[in-house]
Amino acid sequence: MAEDCSRPPVGGTTVAGALASGASDLRLRAVDGGFDLSIGATLVLRHRPDDPAIFVGEGRADVDMYRGNYFLSDRLDARIPLRHALIDGATVALAATPGGDPLLAITVEGGALALTALADRLNRLWLRCVAQPGERLWGGGEQLSYFDLAGRRFPLWTSEPGVGRDKSTLLTFQCDRDGRSGGDYWNTNYPQPTYVSSRHYALHLDTTAYACFDFRDPAFHEIEAWEIPARIELFAADRFAELAGILSTRFGRQPPLPAWAYEGAILGFKQGMESFARMEAIIAAGAVVTGLWCEDWVGLRETSFGKRLFWDWKANDARYPALRERIAALNARGIRFLGYVNPYLAVDGDLYVEAVDAGLLARRLDADEPYIVDFGEFDCGIVDFTNPAAANWFAERVIGREMLDIGLAGWMADFGEYLPTDIRLHDGTDGMLAHNAWPTIWAEVNARAIASRGKTGEALFFMRAGYTDVGRYCPLLWAGDQSVDFSRHDGIGTVIRAALSAGMVGNAYHHSDLGGYTSLYGNVRTPELLMRWSELCAFSPVMRSHEGNRPDDNLQIDGDPEVLAHFAAMTRVHARLAPYVAALCEEAVATGMPLQRPLFLDWEDDADCWGIETQYGYGRDLIVAPVIEAGVDSRAVYLPAGATWVHLWSGDRHAGGSTVETPAPFGHPPVFWREGSRHAELFCSLMHG
């Protein structure tokens, strides 16, 4: 459905540059005193003297950070429209006035635009790309509130996502008032300056500076960056699935998940030795368990927020005596042990002292001493990964010796989004440019540690923070800290949009905290929420429970007989799907297709699939529509045209291209499989128990 919306050239020069994918060309054409830039047949930039597409400027950032929540503003000194273009072959020199000194040079290089600022003072860029009525836009990293980004503005800065994330709700108001932590629809742990257009092209801004996608104007998409980026990359393909594969190649394709990660559930507890007893009781109730995840393997710290961890990354012998031996016993039963780590060191821990003595911590700008971050009633230093010695020390000394060598098979690699901007780093990188880069740097440290033990594709870490290229190192995303509810912008439904958006920019594997995480101001889990989240996770690559920040206040999966029986049944469904998930992992490695995917990646010719955000294809052969509203026992499910669909639980057949009101009693979430699938026998076995 790609359209030719470019105007015919009026004299001048045409420059064609082949994309890395070989799918399309970038074409630069002089037109009416300006120029057009097209990718294949699709016009992306239309620049005219009276309607410029490119602006540069000067600004000074104001950054206020409070416990991972960032408040940014720009003291803008100049915004200059570059009205006048001089084209010389593949290069455009842009000036503000006729005959004035050029301020910016843009050169077509293959599938990218190389940008060069011609005045040192310039540190802002605005780019206006052509928009069309009805155009849809996807990507932006991992977006939680909206999968289709059209019509909204999305600042791109890794941070805490906020609690509530909806300024109209009481919970968000309370969190803003008391902790500056309410957030908004665009806050995310994993932003990425990449969008995919329904016009079959993608644009990526190659920068780690603060950026913003503003899709509110119907005439253009405005892209903002707080530096002059070195490159703007463009990609195109005839089909969305092909475009997703191109982006997966560009940003890094993950290895297949280890089989243990999807053959059963991973139980998340932080109760010391009691965690083992709780696991045994859940197994006795009929659950299939392949992992025990104990964040508190390092010890606990009680705060007003709830139960936190002691950030000194080594086994706490008092809480987990003889852990190495217990891990070995679990491994013999096919159960892996997982832990937790982040890139900060508590000032009252042993590793902090070791890092200080070796000069491995980031420092303050105004003093030759470690930069200390307040994490809410405890302070930490920051390991400076721009120092090769520090990165190697953390990968070997901490993850290698303290975690992998005692048998940990996985962990949550947390808090990549907290790097302050007023910081002095070993390699001299400005904090404003290091901040967004930090999640990917942190992911690389974890991947390096795993590779050093020959366990790539076997050991598994998962992250919520991300940025460009994080998928090159991080094998699994999780959706961050949802509220323990059904709320529109921070509840169970956000994890679907998160998976879809992250998948569009190259991340194949995604999952969430079963039951949500954040419980504040009396907002606690209900049995209904836990059961609906269990159903969603059963049809996700990884099914991992979490106790939440206040486990004593919240219902747990083993805290109610009905909830436990339901959870156990869903783990059995999850385990039965393992052969299908293994095939999806093989497909992801070969093509870059995400396991949880928007319907249009497989059913592009059905335009009714393009706007669907709260159901997903689990591979090509399953349509999953989890219940994400409280108090309902059915939901409408759209079934793509071009196939016949079989209801997983009843066997009823439905023609594609239709919406089916589907019953959804507990234990039977709305799921359909494609008639003719080579996995039909497996799907039928689920119907018959």
- Residues catalogued as catalytic: 414, 417, 481
Strands, E assignment, 198-349: 201-206, 211-214, 220-225, 231-236, 265-269, 289-294, 300-302, 307-309, 336-341, 344-346
What is the rounded CA–CA span in Å between residue 684 and residue 689? 9
Let me know the angle formed at the C-alpha of 186 by 184 and 191, rounded to the nearest 5 degrees. Answer: 140
- Say whether 687 sits in a helix, a strand or coil: helix
Look at the block and give the residue holding tokens 């093509």: 591
- Phi, then psi, of 135 in degrees rounded to 5: -65, 135
Look at residue 393 and give its three-state secondary structure: helix
Please choose, from the candidates 443, 459, 342, the residue with its C-alpha nearest in 3D space to the C-alpha of residue 407: 459
Q: Rounded CA gap, 303 and 60, in Å?
A: 36
First to last CA, the chain: 43
DSSP 269-285: E-STTHHHHHHHHHHHT
d(CA 68, CA 70): 6
What three-state secondary structure class fits 589? helix
Q: Which of 417, 441, 610, 505 is nearest to 141 (CA)?
A: 505
- Exposure class string for 240-250: b at 16+ Cβ within 10 A, else e: bbbbbbbbbeb
Among 306, 498, 342, CA closest to 415:
342
Tokens (6 digits) for 250? 């560009």
Length of the chain in residues, anyone?
689
- Residue 557 identity (one-letter amino acid): I
Closest CA to 274 of 307, 328, 321: 321
CA 394 – CA 400 distance, rounded (Å): 8
How far apart are alpha carbons 456 and 449 in whole angstroms?
9
With a CB cutoff of 8 Å and minimum separation 6, the contacts of 340 are: 295, 296, 297, 298, 309, 411, 412, 414
Q: Say what the alpha-carbon torsion angle 559, 561, 567, 569 is, to the nearest 10 degrees.
A: 160
Per-residue tokens: 115 = 């940008």
Spatial distance between the Cα atoms of 488 and 144, rounded to a whole number of angstroms = 10
Q: With CA atoms as reference, report the closest residue to 100 among 85, 113, 90.
A: 85
CA angle 112, 77, 81 (to 5 degrees): 45
* Cα angle value 399/401/403 (rounded, 5°): 50
Cα 577 to Cα 355: distance, rounded to the nearest angstrom:
45
- In this structure, the number of other CB atoms found within 10 A of the CB of residue 157 comes to 21
Which two tokens mark 376? 């809410």
The tokens of 203 are what?
A: 């644009």
DSSP output for 37-49: EEETTEEEEEEBT
Which of helix, strand or coil describes residue 315? coil
Provide the token pair at 521: 């101001």
